[in-house]
């Protein structure tokens, strides 16, 4: 059974107003080719990741914690391995490649122990496989992701 991820306020994870408005524009189907720009805080990013994880029960991550800086993202949460919930944290780079988001895990730790590269690469690969949608699946074309202290800005176009 998959547990619903709770927001910081204790309720079910939800999208920020900017992300919710973008989702509605995409669903409307009449905004193809229009540019978009959204800026979200660390807390809103955590909520968006939790919202996504609620809808992707095959991804083995829960209870995300995120800190954004100009040099990357510090992320943490629980990694589900069999019946175990392991504390997982790491330093990630997020870039845009051919209109899609790509994550590079610079470092991953379970508890206080750094994971060997071969395990880090497997987790990174699993994350990117879930993010690497085909053009038909991803309703936007990403052009830029900008990281600043405490916030993330994404620019692109609606498909």
Quick one: three-class SS letters along the chain?
Answer: CCCCCECCCCCECCCCHHHHHHHHHHHHCCCCCCEEEEEEEHHHHHHHHHHHHHHCCCCCEEEEEEEEECCEEEEEEEEEECCEEEEEEEEEEEEEECCEEEEEEEEEEECCEECCHHHHHHHHHHHHHHHCCCCCCCCEEEEEEEEECCEEEEEEEEC
pTM: 0.79
Per-residue pLDDT tens over the stretch 70-99: 999 999 999 888 888 999 999 999 999 989
Confidence tier at 132 by pLDDT (50, 70, 90): low
Per-residue pLDDT tens over the stretch 47-56: 999 988 888 8
pLDDT at position 7: 46
């Amino acid at each position: 059974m998959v547990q619903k991820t709770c927001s910081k306020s204790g309720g079910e994870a939800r999208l920020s107003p900017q992300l919710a408005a973008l989702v509605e524009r995409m669903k409307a189907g009449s905004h193809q080719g229009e540019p978009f720009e959204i800026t979200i805080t660390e807390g809103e990013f955590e909520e968006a990741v939790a919202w996504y994880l609620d809808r992707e029960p095959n991804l083995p991550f829960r209870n995300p914690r995120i800190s954004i800086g100009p040099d990357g993202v510090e992320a943490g949460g629980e990694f589900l391995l069999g019946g175990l919930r392991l504390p997982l944290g790491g330093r990630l780079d997020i870039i845009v490649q051919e209109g899609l988001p790509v994550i590079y895990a610079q470092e991953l730790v379970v508890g206080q122990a750094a994971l060997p590269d071969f395990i880090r690469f497997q987790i990174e690969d699993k994350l990117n496989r879930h993010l690497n949608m085909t053009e038909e699946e991803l309703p936007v074309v990403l052009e830029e992701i900008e990281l600043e202290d405490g916030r993330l800005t994404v620019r692109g176009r609606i498909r």
